[in-house]
Chain A
Amino acid sequence: MTQLGAFKKMKELMTLYYIEAKTAADKPVAWLTSGAPVEFVYAMGAVPVYPENYAAMCAASHQSVALMEAAEAAGFSQDICAYARTDFGQDLVRGGPAGGLPAPHFLVCSTNICKTVIKWYEVVARKYQVPLFVVDTPFLHDGLTPGLVDYVVAQFRQLERFLESMLKKPFDRDRLIEVIRLSRQATGLWRKILDLGRTVPVPFTSLDAFIHIAPIVTLRGTPACVDYYQLLYDEVSGLAERRVGSVSDERYRVLWDNLPIWFKMRPFEKFFGERRCALVAATYANSWGGLEDFAGIQTRDAMEALAVSYLNIYINYGFAQRIRYLARLIDEFGLTGFIMHSNRSCKPYSVGMYRLKEELSRLTGKPGVVIEADQNDPRVFGDAQVEARLDTFIESMAPAA
């Protein structure tokens, strides 16, 4: 993994963010899903908190098992998404690297990543007796249509009313436009950074991206987020120009599909590094960078553009569109194969994946592999089995030209 100067800055940024969130006594705290339109929340001056991001941090720092066990002891089945279990656990025992999240005053949940978050947030809403606002961003079985954009924009208007009642002040549309601008700037920079993955050797792998993803999830819409990704971009583009690779002597270039396995970041870095295999593009990291360009969708204003970007998320795509998108990544990033993480926690990402693998291989002629794992629960991870599958896969690839 590339040792980036920006890493220290990110640590500071995230520490500061969690301290502020936990000490913002005068501001209401909102819990949000990663795909919720946070711009509205920032515009009104509430403090957004992301249980998914926190759950990932807990797993990356090897604290998720204890928290999930606490949730399971309270009756939550091991069958439910490990992010939710980690969250319920941190809430019960005030655990994890920040000693638990601040209690929410209200919740905003968006269905673009899954329907599971509705259930998760219903549990939180009931526990804290706080209102839950759902922004419905329907699954794109047949692509994006103007009707869907209108539907989401109409909900944005309702969200404004909801926030007015939560914060007891009129909605600030001007401020919203400013926040959207900042948010777009940050996601634009993030996309530019990820696009540098086209460089051979790749200066910033998907594992690097997973490490540096926290600010785009939690802070998009703030000036600090823009500054941070500008810094990161400058650094990574410098590496790209000097042709400095993240993996030494890069030989294979692969795509990673589905969430990271947060508790395996270091071992994976070593594993792939030793095999001269770089993870170059990841659908998960791309989800915050604006994806497909939808021909025929013209947006008239910032609200519509925002609606499009929240509908336009990889796991919100129908399979035909997923396959097209994956094939495009393989082509544009010069990839030699692809890894799909069949994630026990995440059904919207994983159900049907074996079919996607077959079709994508057929379409691109590139080998692919599916590994069985979980983003947050090391108890269901079999090292030997996963490594054996990955080794067979890596051996089956033709090195990059």
Chain B
Amino acid sequence: MFAPFYAAIADISATIRRHRDRLGRPVIGVLPAYFPLELIHAAGGYPVQLWGAGVAIDHAEAYLQPYCCSVARSVLELEMRGSAGLIQAYVFTSLCDTLINLRELYRRLFDKPILGLSFPVTQFAEGRRAFLADAAEKIIKGLEAVTGRRVSADALRAAAGQFGRVRSLQRELYRLRRERPGAIKNADFHAVLKAGFFLPVDEYGRLLEDLLVRLESIAAPAGRRPRLILSGMVFDPLEAQRLFDEVGADVVDDDFASGWRTVSKATLPVDDPVEGIATHVFGGAPCCCIHHPEKDRHDYLVKKIRDAGADGVVFWYVKFCEPDAFDRPQLLARLKQEGIPATVLEMDLSMKSVESLRTRIQAFCEMIGGLEI
């Protein structure tokens, strides 16, 4: 059932090349997070999402210090070692200080077009609007220059429909996972999400529809295993996601930037592109990287845990990610207050072995109780 998704991520370059050749669209690499991919598609591009990779850092060492996160380091590594040759242009957002500087570094290092969309941080709708009006115009022009095609209203509407549909199918998958714990293996679930980073929207949508049909009759296994929620920026490394299956715990929901925080975004409103971008960036689940005083991450996470009937939270911490790290102590305190067990796993996308995480996950699940031993 999951084979096409695993196939897509087994050789990512081959997947991208095949679809690029089929579609004749230039491949545009998108760095984390929340850039409306719809704009790229509407401009005739083929967006692929770069959330980091499990590669050893060698070339990138020259420009990114060891205290930079492995998301940034691994993406740079791919370009520097020549593994990102398919990517014709990059798109950045202003998610964090590292990415803001990385965008500048790319402009100095590479000849490819480096585009960016900075997010306004003000709470005031008017200010946001004024800022985004300029920013939207620039990014659209930039994309058009890369693809040589205009972003028409019709193309944007069509793209919004396609990407909106994909996200709503993904939400369906999330619902199944929540309602039938254990029915979908954690590794499989994340393989499906990860395939979506690289497959074009038409193909991915088809595969998702097909998968959901097949999953319709699938039932949750009998018995109750520990139910967990994962929270962090990226759900990679994928091999580590398999550990939950092996330990015998059910991940029932998540709070990943590369997962639900993106999947939760509604269909892009297109009548007013500026308003559309604002809705896209600030709508959906809260994120540690998006300042939003009206969206409290604490209440949100507690509610999410209760709604999913989860027993505990695993913080999936990619080392050196400050936005994630700042929020955690207070979040942990709140969870403690609510009587919700939580643990923190530190990782690095380039880690050679995920085995050290296994013992931690096992110990946490034992603490929660309900493991079949």
Interface residue ranges, A against B (CB under 8 Å): 74-77, 79-81, 84, 111, 114-116, 118-120, 122-123, 126-127, 132, 134-136, 138-139, 141, 145, 147, 150-151, 154-155, 158, 318-320, 342, 344, 347-348, 350-355, 359, 372
Contact = CB atoms under 8 A, between A and B. Distances in A.
A344 B105 CA distance: 17
Contacts of B293: 132
A351 B107 contact: no
A80 B326 contact: yes
B65 A118 contact: no
B288 A119 contact: yes
Contacts, number: 139
B322 A79 contact: yes
Contacts of A81: 322
A122 B105 contact: no
Contact of A151 (B116, B131, B330, B332): B131
Interface of B: 62-65, 67-68, 72, 94, 96-98, 100-105, 107-109, 116, 118, 120-124, 126-127, 130-131, 134, 288, 291, 293, 317, 319-323, 325-330, 332-333
Nearest to A135: B122
B291 A118 contact: yes
Contacts of B62: 354
Contacts of B291: 118, 122, 134
Contacts of A136: 120-122, 127, 131
Nearest to B288: A119
Given A80-B322, A354-B63, A115 B96 contact: yes
Contacts of A134: 121-123, 291
Given A138-B94, A351-B105, 5 more contacts: A76-B326, A76-B329, A116-B322, A119-B327, A154-B130
Contacts of A342: 65
B122 A359 contact: no
Contacts of B131: 136, 138, 147, 151
A134 B109 CA distance: 33
Contacts of A123: 326-327, 329-330
B104 A352 contact: yes
B67 A344 contact: yes
A315 to B, nearest CB: 9
Nearest to A72: B329
B325 A77 contact: yes
Given A79-B320, A119-B288, A155-B124, A141 B103 contact: yes
Which of B62, B104, B317, B329 neighbours the largest number of chain A CB atoms within 10 Å of its CB? B104
A344 B325 CA distance: 15
Contacts of A139: 94, 100, 118
Contacts of B64: 351
A79 B325 contact: yes
Contacts of B96: 115, 347
Given A80-B322, A127-B330, A355-B109, A348 B103 contact: no
A141 B116 contact: yes
A259 to B, nearest CB: 14
Nearest to B296: A126
A147 B126 CA distance: 13
Nearest to A146: B134
Leading 3 A-B pairs by shortest Cβ distance: A75-B329, A119-B326, A351-B101
